[in-house]
């Protein structure tokens, strides 16, 4: 298995533009998580899915953020409109279990200018 695959690796966009981050989880993993890494807060959980259904989106910062999982092998995190404070590294992770054994992707470094 190639692991959790995220794209793009880097994204530079202008304030106000729509940004879409993509994730392919490990086949067979029932859980998918989106995290954001910042210096101040470390790894923040934004949202997670179980069997493609969003379970907890309490970490999504505001309505500009949305996430979907249309099938077991694909998820997107969308920011519309993007703002400079959204600049961070966004990680996707998947696992068999909600509380253990997460495998992370390599992340998407987002820069909003």
Interface map 1-30 toward another protein (x if CB under 8 A): ---x--------------------------
Return the residues of window 83-102 that contact another protein according to CB under 8 A. 91, 93, 98-102
**Chosen residue from 19, 21, 26, 48 binding another protein by CB under 8 A:** 48
Q: How far is CA 72 from CA 41, 57, 63, 101, in A?
A: 29, 18, 24, 18
Distance CA 60, CA 62 (A): 6
Q: Which residues lie near another protein (CB under 8 A)?
A: 4, 33, 35, 39-45, 48, 56, 91, 93, 98-107
């Amino acid at each position: 298995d190639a692991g959790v695959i995220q794209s793009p690796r880097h994204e530079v966009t202008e304030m106000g533009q729509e940004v879409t981050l993509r994730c392919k989880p490990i086949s067979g993993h029932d859980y998918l998580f989106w995290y954001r890494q910042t210096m101040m807060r470390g790894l923040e959980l934004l949202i997670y899915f179980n069997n493609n259904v969003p379970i907890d989106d309490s970490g999504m910062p505001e309505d500009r953020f949305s996430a979907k999982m249309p099938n077991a092998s694909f998820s997107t995190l969308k920011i519309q409109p993007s703002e400079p404070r959204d600049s961070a590294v966004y990680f996707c992770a998947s696992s068999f279990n909600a509380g253990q054994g997460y495998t992370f992707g390599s992340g998407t470094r987002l820069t909003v200018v």
